[in-house]
Amino acid sequence: MNTNNQQRAVAWWLFACCAMVFLTMVVGGVTRLTHSGLSIVEWKPLIGALPPLSHADWLELFAKYQQTPEFIKRNHDMTLDGFQFIFWWEWAHRLLGRSIGVVFFLPYVWFLVRGRLRGALAAKVFGFFILGGLQGAMGWYMVKSGLVDDPRVSQYRLAAHLGLAFLLFGLMGWTGLGMLQPRKATAAVACPRSGIPGTQSEPAPTSSLTMRLGNWLVVLVFIMVLSGALVAGIHAGLAYNTFPLMNGDFVPPEIFMIEPLWLNFFTNMATVQFDHRMIAWALMGLVPWFCWRIWTETPGARPAAVLLTLWLAVQVGLGIATLLLQVPVALAASHQAGAMVLFGLLIWANHAIRRA
Question: Is the separation of the CB atoms in 330 and 15 below 8 Å?
Answer: no
- Three-state DSSP class for residue 246: strand
Residue 148 pLDDT exceeds 90: no
**Segment 280-325, tens digit of pLDDT:** 999 999 999 999 999 999 999 999 999 999 999 999 999 999 999 9
pLDDT confidence tier of residue 183, bands split at 50, 70 and 90: low
Note whether 118 and 151 are within 8 A (CB). no
| Sequence-separated contacts (24+) of 95-98 with Cβ below 8 Å | 95/49, 96/20, 96/23, 96/24, 96/27, 97/24, 97/136, 97/139, 98/45, 98/49, 98/136
Least confident window among 39-53, 235-249, 321-335: 39-53
pLDDT, one tens digit per residue, over 95-138 is 999 999 999 999 999 999 998 899 999 999 999 999 999 999 99
**Shortest CA distance to 322 belongs to which of 311, 333, 308, 337?**
333
| Whether pLDDT at 5 is above 80 | no
Spell out the residues 6+ positions from residue 280 whose beta carbon is closer than 8 angstroms to its own.
224, 316, 319
Residue 335 identity (one-letter amino acid): H
What are the domain boundaries of the chain? 1-182, 204-356
Whether pLDDT at 190 is above 80:
no
**DSSP-assigned letter for residue 337:** H
pTM score = 0.91
Q: What is the pLDDT of residue 345?
A: 98
- Show the CA angle centred on residue 356, arms to residues 13 and 191, nearest 5°: 140
Residue 48's CB: how many other CB atoms inside 10 A?
14
Note the helical H segments in the chain: 3-33, 55-65, 69-73, 80-113, 119-144, 155-180, 208-233, 264-267, 269-297, 302-324, 329-355
Q: How far apart are CA 101 and CA 133, in angstroms?
A: 8
Q: Mean pLDDT for the chain?
A: 91
